[in-house]
Amino acid sequence: MAQVNLNRESGLLVFFLVLKIVLSFLLVNDVYELHRDEFLHLDQANHLAAGYVSVPPFTAFVSLLIKWLGNSEFWVRFFPALFGAATIFFSWKMVHLLGGNLYAKLLVAVSCLCSAYLRLNTLYQPNSFDVLAWTAVFYYLLVYFQTGKATPLYWLALWAGCGILNKYNILFLFLGLLPALVLTAKRKIFADRHFYFALLLMLVIVSPNLIWQVVHHFPVLIHMKELHDTQLVHVNRADFFIHQLLFFICCMFVIIAAFIRLSIERQHLWVLITYVATMLLFSFFNAKDYYALGLYPVLLAFGSVYLSQVAKRLWLRVTLVVLVIGSFSFLLPLIMPVYSPEQIMARQEQFRRVGLLKWNDGKDHALPQDYADMTGWRELATIVDSAYRLVPDKKHLLILCDNYGEAGAVNYYSAFGNIGAASFSADYANWLNLDVPIKTKIRVREKGSDADAAEDALSYGSMEKIGSVTNPHSLEYGTTVYLLREPKIDVNADLRQYIKKF
């Protein structure tokens, strides 16, 4: 009988893991392409390093694996879905560790599925692995405190190190954990020599990136300042907390149950203190709402176990699961890109009411920003290809774009493969090769860059407009491609001078 129950439990877990991956494909409308940020991360596979201006190096090595697998959109979407499935796996394991029964495990899996994680795990960005790393850290801390064995500390160090190499956001978790451990009986961890050996292991793992930051004068600080000045300055603290509710609106009662249990049981009070401390830190620094998503799998695990203990009747248990799935199914079109741009615009008020039309500039637009960032890229690459075909001497050609999304999309979607499109934004400025004299330039200009285009016309003997992005739903609508020949200036010297500003 025990073996039958184990097989049933394993089968149910595998079902949820597979379902998680499948839904990440099924619930994305075919009209959408890859996201702007994804192109940058994919291009990092062609410029492997111990660090980047935009992100730490972990994602670049995942991109290299994607490249080896063929670089198709399938594999680009597969890995964040896989990280999401692994998050469910650790959440399931936490429930088991806390003594939860099969119903508790079912509830935590359903709660993870029917939340903001479903959308998060469709985008190839560091955020999916970030949530996974946070979840693994909580899991191994729970294992350590329950068993007292040293091995979980080393697993924790491994996940923490990889988490830092993926996204520095996890440092906020460590800052939140510090007062939680110091203020509770869990401070005994600081008396365990294995804690310090594990800490040393983590430092060894992150050392290549740390050395890279030192050698390059900590570009992460410049990046954070730019992020603060251009995006975080528009973040509203009230919205930050409201969006936490919206992220888990369908399973919020599970999180509330976790708060109740953690408040009652002093044994795990450190989890609650960690949540509060980390949220206060995020609020103080005007963090984006999704930065805090790594805090919730552990809460969903505690809440699921507590509800399985207090909800004894079968009808009540079934009702709770149906409530999560039913409400999420109703909200699904607002959470996942199942609607085309035209369908969204026909239902614009629904999206506006929940704040989905607000972009990083703090203003409402016709589409959610993520969706506008997932259209127009193939069209742009096709226009650039048209210009590329007109250039016989490709050795002395430069394809220069206004932003990293354009450069990455051209390199990804071009019929000629990666054709070396460059930009001055994000990491592309460091990848620009100026060793070969530039005699021809394909210039990709954002809409509203008429003055810059006019300046280009004065610097070249020939300037031909090739075409513009016509997709009105795209963030790149109006972006224009020019073919510039017969330079009147030393293009390489001019670009070197311009790069010095960065």
Nearest one of 243, 245, 11, 7 to 109, comparing CA atoms: 11
pLDDT reported for residue 499: 76
The arithmetic mean of pLDDT across residues 5-13, rounded, is: 85
Mean pLDDT for the stretch of residues 370-388? 96
Say what the pTM is.
Answer: 0.93
Q: What are 195-231's pLDDT values in tens digits?
A: 999 999 999 999 999 999 999 888 877 666 666 555 5
For residues 7 and 206, give the distance between their C-alpha atoms in angstroms, rounded to a whole number: 39
pLDDT above 90 (res 448): no
Residue 234 has pLDDT above 60, yes or no: no
Above 90 in pLDDT, residue 232?
no
CA distance 70 to 76: 10
**All structural domains of the chain with their residue ranges:** 15-335, 341-372, 377-499
Give the integer Cα–Cα distance in Å for 451 and 467.
17
pLDDT band with cut points at 50, 70 and 90 for residue 350: confident
- pLDDT value of residue 411: 97
pLDDT digits (tens, 9 = 90+) for 239-281: 899 989 999 999 999 999 999 999 998 899 999 999 999 999 9
Confidence of residue 3 (pLDDT cuts 50, 70, 90): low
Q: 29 with 21: CB under 8 angstroms? A: no
By DSSP bridging, strand 460-468 and strand 440-445 are: unpaired
**Which pLDDT value is given to residue 482?**
95
If you average pLDDT over residues 291-320, what whole number do you get? 96
The two beta strands, 397-401 and 422-423, are parallel
Which DSSP string do the residues of 436-473 spell out, in sequence order? SPP-EEEEEE-TT-HHHHHHHHHHEEEEEEEEE---TT
Q: What's the pLDDT band for 357 if we cut at 50, 70, 90? A: confident
Place of tokens 């206060």: 280
In angstroms and rounded to an integer, the radius of gyration of the C-alpha atoms of the chain is 25
Q: b/e map of 286-314 (b: 16 or more CB within 10 Å)? A: ebbbbbbbbbbbbbbbbbbbbbbeebeee
DSSP 53: S
Q: Give the pLDDT confidence score for residue 269 in this predicted structure.
A: 96
Specify the pLDDT at position 366.
Answer: 87
In this structure, of 60-74, 184-198, 363-377, the range with the lowest mean pLDDT score is: 363-377
Q: How much is the pLDDT for 93? A: 98
Looking at residue 423, its pLDDT comes to 93
**Structure confidence at residue 492 (pLDDT):** 85
